[in-house]
Amino acid sequence: MLTDAKVRSAKAGEKPYKLYDSDGLFLFVAASGSKLWRLKYRQDGKEKLAALGKYPSTTLSEARVKKDEFKRLLERGELPDKSKKVETFETITREWLSKKCEGWAESHSQKIILGLEKNVLPFIGKREIDSLGPVEILDLLRRIEARGAVDLAHRTRGTIGQIFRYGIATGRCKYNPAGDLLGAIPPARVKHYAAPTEPETVAELLRALDAFTGTLHVHVALRLAPLVFVRPGELRKMEWTELDLDGRKWCIPAEKMKTRQPHIVPLARQAVELINELPKIGKFCFPNAGRDKTRAMSEAAINAALRRLGFDTRSEITGHGFRAIARTLLHERLRVDPVIIEHQLAHRVPDTLGQAYNRTKFLEERRKMMQTWADYLDELKAGQGRKVIQFSANS
């Protein structure tokens, strides 16, 4: 009979060897050092071999449990048909992605896919989905946690859980082991995008943006970002066909939005003036700086420009931080109703009847808010920012 200590201390030799336990169960120690649980059994008069897992993912006690369960199935004639297609975790994952990606923004899809391909599939992708348990998932999450990426470990657990739920719903597995791991990873620190929220500091930032001496497209994008406070990806992918400059609005189609809902951005007079500074080169208002003008500006361009201006994009301001500036000052300094602000930020804001985000809701109030906001930013730049005013959507 094997012991935990004997299994743990087994070392690789020049040739592979076996350490026997009981009832046909043994540990196969490969020359590479891998330790594999195997079960020797007879079926229809023929000697066969079953794989019961890999040590240490499968412990000695777990291997014995698997052996007993296998023999019960053998006696009942209920062993799985090996001619059936093996449903690996990667198979289910790819199928789940093909369904889910249709409703996601491209940037979000790429983030999820790359995360799975780097952190998950190389380790458990080839495993049969119904053979995975909490121990294997936790090992994977702790590997991510060990890099200091605690928040990523939590998000990865959530993604794995969604894949298992899909597997259960489609009849390929019976159990979601990720659900047992709530609390197994330390809580992540909430990380906010860097952004100043004091009017005096914002005023200095705005004056610095005006003084930028780089390319025209980046200069306009820098100055437009605080006026429209959309997500950086939405700004750099702005297209001429989406703009109604006479009507002073920008209509962003659903496929470009994180919420997958079309969104209207009312444009203040100052925003229209900035856009009119841009030459029309291709379909994007902010084309790529390279030769290929059919692509939008690089996602790194805004942050690179901020660093060139001397700002630390880890602790002071990022392209995404203009949203935090607007959210804070619109409420604290201009006293705008948070519900109106949230609609302009394109966050999902259910109403009292539970209805989802509506792109035209509060549109007139948002139009007035955006002009008031642009005027307030001009006052800040000029050193005349009002401490607190009462915004009125009816004025």
Q: Which residues are catalytic?
A: 231, 258, 320, 323, 347, 357
Beta strands, E only, 211-272: 243-244, 249-252, 263-266
Q: How far apart are CA 161 and CA 177, in angstroms?
A: 8
Q: How far apart are CA 209 and CA 198, in angstroms?
A: 17
Cβ(155)–Cβ(199) under 8 Å?
Answer: no
Q: How far apart are CA 385 and CA 395, in angstroms?
A: 20
Amino acid of residue 201: T
Read out DSSP for 143-196?
A: HHHTTT-HHHHHHHHHHHHHHHHHHHHTTS-S--GGGGGTTTSPPPPP-PPP--
Q: How far apart are CA 54 and CA 360, in angstroms?
A: 57
User: Residue 260 is encoded by which pair of tokens?
Assistant: 């997958």
Q: What is the CA angle 330-387-267, rounded to 5?
A: 35
Which position has the token pair 């401490």? 387
Q: How far apart are CA 112 and CA 97, in angstroms?
A: 9
Q: Which helix (H) or strand (E) holds 36?
A: strand 35-43
Q: Which helix (H) or strand (E) holds 18?
A: strand 17-20
Closest CA to 256 of 232, 272, 274: 232
Which position has the token pair 């500006």? 297
Q: How far apart are CA 136 and CA 139, in angstroms?
A: 5
287: helix, coil or strand? strand
50: helix, coil or strand? strand
Q: How far apart are CA 169 and CA 269, in angstroms?
A: 52
